[in-house]
């Protein structure tokens, strides 16, 4: 127990130091180094440690603080009403637990048993506090550390949506968010590119940085906007305006007074309605003109809000229901090797289970030995994970600041049991990857068979990895050909099979016997031949015989096929084992002519995608291009028309510049495919 307490104390100290560093980078310097999601993950870990070991809590812990220190070169303003930040929840179970906690806190109040809520978009901007005297704008400040903020009155006066004079002569203090429209970010970045300046990473940074400009003219030129969402204090007015009884009425009053109020707010009569609003907002977030990273949920009844009050840094009556994180932090518990169907070996990090992008993950790819060395990933390290689309997450950074000294370096072995034979492995010539010297182990064959039956290839419904394993264990299949010799009687007595399920699988196998050439090529597990390359080969050569007899020079002439791919394809079809396998397999398979590509506005245009697209998955992007008649290539050449560059683009972006290929931003690409 003492050892656990000692380790918790050391871990908490390192977390506090790291979180405080990132608070300063985010709130004070407006130059964050990690994503909001990764920051939240670090804070949540510290909170959980402090809750488990309250004796190690310190008074200046980041879990007790709000925002960052005010900048030195602005006049300081002490807030009349202390400021706060929201606690976060990340899924509906946590949201329901938050509601239950409220009800327990208010167990004596009858109204608390049937709570209603006001739900609003959580704007990714900079919080400001505005003070009006007799209806006239007097001063405005940033949140700062919650007690003292920066006086940014002159800069706020340049924002058109912040009224200089209200519709009523009232003394009032309000809070809200200053934000930059996405179209303004694009305009500003284009200007910065022309001027040879570095581009801004996101709209939030620009909004925060703009308000901290000493020259109000710069702020005016950036066309900032605002949403006001809370009344901090309401004084007397000539109209005898009284403090609203509900949060919804509060927003309506703010709008009536002349403030810009986000119209997306919604009254929710139950927590289930909040969840519906959240799901709808999550689906619409990419279409919004402002950044939004979740939904703010507030108890609608103001009297209940008052009764619930605040913790040291957050209101009990409100919570931020965050959208699924695409980045988060966790701990590497082990590094293992996975052998793929072509014998290529991929190192995988086994992780402390963590939620990311809406699902719990316990592993992440490390790609290859060189990547492990580049990242300096060690067993026991705290890492930042990133997930794009539905693929296995990547480790993008090691938080070396949190190392305790017990982390273990990983050494790539010379033998891997799953490789069969003597287990020897080797570097793939010309590549950073390793592979099995003897690529014929049972594990690899099982994966090849599962891939052959997958949707990307022959699409045999009901023949997944576990069924393949079951059939191999019972000596029913060991090759592609064997799949087509299965009978209903072979299956009915196997575990998990009945009369109907056995018949269904046999019918699925029959239906898969007619297959387009590209799908057939994908299913063969030819090294370097994925969906795109298979389609390129199928469209170019039209039939399997032409591909089998093609020389390397013929293959290289295909758009998207380089020398490495051409060599792998040629060697695969020259191999005697593969020739015999194809001869047997083609007795059961009818290869259909490849469908003629659709005509459309992108006919004849070839696209290469690089980096992560935020608004749609890579598969959907490819599908849209193909539906409009365009071609997809995996490599950049002089024949490439467009390279679409998302976040964190790779070497393809440099290749595009080398060949003089036009590079499209994600927004430019979306305009093209929506024509």
User: Each residue of 46-92: pLDDT tens digit?
Assistant: 888 888 888 888 877 877 655 555 545 568 889 999 888 888 888 88
CATH class entry, domain 327-427: mainly beta
Give me 345's structure tokens. 């070996």
64, β-bridge pairs: none
Say which CATH superfamily domain 76-274+283-319 falls into. DNA ligase/mRNA capping enzyme (3.30.470.30)
User: What confidence score (pLDDT) does residue 231 get?
Assistant: 94
Residue 474 has pLDDT above 80, yes or no: no
Q: How far is CA 651 from the centre of its chain?
A: 21
CB atoms within 10 A of CB 491: 23
pLDDT over 90 (residue 353): no
Contact 640, 610 (CB under 8 A): no
Cα diameter, the chain: 95
Extract the tokens encoding 493.
């007595």
Kindly give the pairing relationship between strand 225-237 and strand 88-89: unpaired
Residue with more model confidence, 295 or 52: 295
Q: How confident is the model at residue 27 (pLDDT cuts 50, 70, 90)?
A: low
Of the listed ranges 107-111, 114-118, 455-459, the least confidently predicted one is 107-111
Quick one: CATH architecture of 442-592? Orthogonal Bundle (1.10)
pLDDT tens digits, one per residue of 299-350:
999 999 999 998 877 899 999 998 877 788 899 999 988 877 777 888 888 8
Distance CA 553, CA 133 (A): 80
C-alpha span between 645 and 661 (Å, rounded):
12
Question: Each residue of 505-518: pLDDT tens digit?
Answer: 999 999 999 999 99
Cα angle vertex 102, ends 98, 105, to 5°? 135
Strand pairing report for 148-150 and 170-179:
unpaired
Query: Could you state, in order of their start, the residue ranges of all structural domains in the chain?
Result: 2-64, 76-274+283-319, 327-427, 442-592, 606-673
Active site residue 157: no
* Among 451, 496, 435, CA closest to 471: 496
> Residue 133: its pLDDT value, please?
93
Hey, how many other C-beta atoms are within 10 angstroms of the C-beta on 505?
22
Quote the pLDDT of residue 206. Answer: 77
pLDDT at 210 over 80: no
Tell me what the pLDDT averaged over the chain comes to.
84
Q: Is the pLDDT of residue 429 over 50?
A: yes
- % of the chain exceeding 90 in pLDDT: 29
Cα–Cα distance between 240 and 243 in angstroms, integer? 10
Candidate list 14, 122, 652, 662, residue with the active-site label = 122
**Does the CA dihedral 279-285-290-293 come out positive or negative?**
positive
Across the range 197-212, mean pLDDT stands at 74
Per the model's pLDDT, the better-predicted residue between 627 and 2 turns out to be 627
68 compared with 152, residue with greater pLDDT? 152
C-alpha–C-alpha distance, residues 129 and 390, integer Å: 40
Res 411 pLDDT > 80: yes
Residue range 232-265, pLDDT digits in tens? 999 876 677 788 999 999 999 999 999 999 999 9
Element (H, E) at 620: helix 618-627
Residue 636: name the closest of 606, 604, 613 by CA: 606
Distance CA 453, CA 472 (A): 14
**Rounded to 5 degrees, what are φ and ψ at 321?**
-95, 95
Rounded mean pLDDT of 636-661?
A: 81
Whether 151 has a pLDDT exceeding 70, the answer reads yes
pLDDT in tens, 381-408: 999 888 755 457 888 889 999 998 899 9
Q: What is the CA radius of gyration of the chain?
A: 30
Report the alpha-carbon distance of residue 145 to residue 77 in Å, rounded. 11
Select the more confidently predicted residue: 391 or 541. 541
Highest mean pLDDT among 103-112, 403-412, 482-491: 403-412
pLDDT of amino acid 390: 47
The CATH homologous superfamily of the domain defined by 2-64: Helix hairpin bin (1.10.287.610)
- Specify the CATH number for 606-673; select among 1.10.490.10, 3.10.50.40, 3.40.50.10190, 3.30.465.10: 3.40.50.10190
**181-185, 253-257, 504-508, 572-576: range with lowest mean pLDDT:** 181-185
């Amino acid at each position: 127990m003492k050892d656990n307490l000692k380790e918790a104390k050391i871990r908490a100290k390192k977390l506090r130091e790291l979180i405080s560093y990132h608070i300063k980078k985010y709130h004070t310097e407006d130059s964050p180094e990690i994503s909001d999601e990764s920051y939240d993950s670090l804070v949540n870990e510290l909170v959980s440690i402090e809750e488990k070991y309250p004796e190690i809590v310190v008074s200046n812990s980041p879990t007790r603080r709000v925002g960052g220190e005010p900048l030195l070169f602005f006049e300081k303003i002490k807030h009349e009403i202390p400021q706060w930040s929201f606690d976060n929840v990340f899924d509906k179970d946590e949201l329901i637990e938050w509601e239950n906690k409220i009800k327990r806190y208010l167990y004596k109040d009858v109204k608390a048993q049937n709570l209603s809520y006001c739900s609003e978009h959580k704007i990714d901007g900079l919080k400001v506090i505005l003070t009006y005297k007799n209806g006239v704008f007097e001063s405005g400040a940033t949140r700062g550390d919650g007690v003292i903020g920066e006086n940014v009155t002159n800069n706020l006066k340049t924002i058109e949506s912040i009224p200089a004079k209200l519709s009523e002569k009232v003394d009032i203090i309000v809070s809200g968010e200053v934000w930059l429209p996405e179209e303004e970010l694009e305009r500003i970045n284009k200007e910065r590119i022309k001027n040879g300046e570095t581009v801004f990473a996101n709209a939030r940074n620009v909004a925060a940085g703009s308000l901290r400009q000493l020259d109000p003219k710069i702020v005016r030129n950036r066309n900032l906007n605002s949403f006001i969402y809370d009344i901090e204090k309401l004084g007397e007015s000539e109209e005898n305006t009284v403090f609203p009884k509900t949060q919804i009425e509060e927003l309506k009053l703010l709008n009536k007074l002349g403030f810009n109020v986000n119209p997306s707010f919604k009254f929710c009569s139950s927590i289930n309605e909040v969840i519906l609003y959240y799901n709808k907002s999550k689906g619409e977030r990419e279409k919004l003109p402002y950044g939004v990273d979740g939904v703010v949920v507030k108890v609608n009844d103001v009297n209940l809000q008052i009764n619930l009050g605040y913790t040291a840094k957050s209101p009990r009556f409100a919570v931020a229901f965050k959208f699924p994180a695409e980045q988060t932090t966790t701990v590497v518990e082990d590094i293992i090797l996975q052998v793929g169907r072509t014998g290529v070996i991929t190192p995988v990090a086994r992780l402390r289970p963590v939620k990311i992008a809406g699902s719990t993950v316990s592993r992440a790819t490390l790609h290859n030995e060189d990547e492990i060395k580049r990242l300096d990933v060690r067993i026991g390290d705290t890492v930042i994970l990133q997930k794009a689309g539905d693929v296995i997450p990547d480790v993008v950074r090691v938080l070396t600041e949190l190392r305790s000294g017990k982390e273990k370096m990983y050494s790539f072995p010379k033998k891997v049991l799953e490789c069969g034979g003597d287990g020897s492995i080797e570097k793939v010539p010309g590549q950073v990857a390793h592979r099995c010297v003897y690529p014929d182990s049972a594990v690899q064959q099982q994966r090849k068979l599962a891939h052959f039956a997958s949707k990307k290839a022959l699409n045999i419904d009901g023949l997944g990895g576990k069924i393949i394993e079951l059939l191999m264990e019972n000596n029913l299949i060991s090759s592609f050909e064997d799949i087509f010799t299965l009978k209903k009687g072979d299956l009915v007595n196997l575990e998990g099979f009945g009369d109907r399920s056995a018949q269904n699988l046999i019918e699925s196998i029959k239906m898969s016997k007619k297959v387009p050439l590209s799908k057939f090529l994908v299913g063969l597990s030819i090294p370097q031949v994925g969906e795109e390359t298979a389609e390129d080969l199928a469209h170019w050569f039209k039939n399997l015989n032409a591909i089998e007899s093609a020389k390397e020079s013929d293959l290289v002439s295909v758009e998207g096929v380089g020398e490495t791919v051409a060599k792998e394809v040629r060697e695969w079809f020259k191999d005697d084992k593969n020739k015999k396998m194809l001869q047997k397999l083609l007795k059961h398979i009818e290869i259909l002519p490849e469908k003629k590509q659709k005509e459309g506005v992108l006919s004849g245009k070839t696209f290469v995608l690089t980096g992560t697209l935020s608004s749609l998955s890579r598969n959907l992007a490819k599908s849209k291009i193909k539906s409009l008649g365009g071609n997809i290539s995996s490599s950049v050449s002089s024949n490439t028309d467009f390279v679409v560059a998302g976040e964190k683009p790779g070497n393809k972006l440099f290749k595009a510049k080398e060949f003089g290929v036009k590079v499209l931003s994600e927004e430019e690409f979306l305009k093209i495919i929506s024509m």
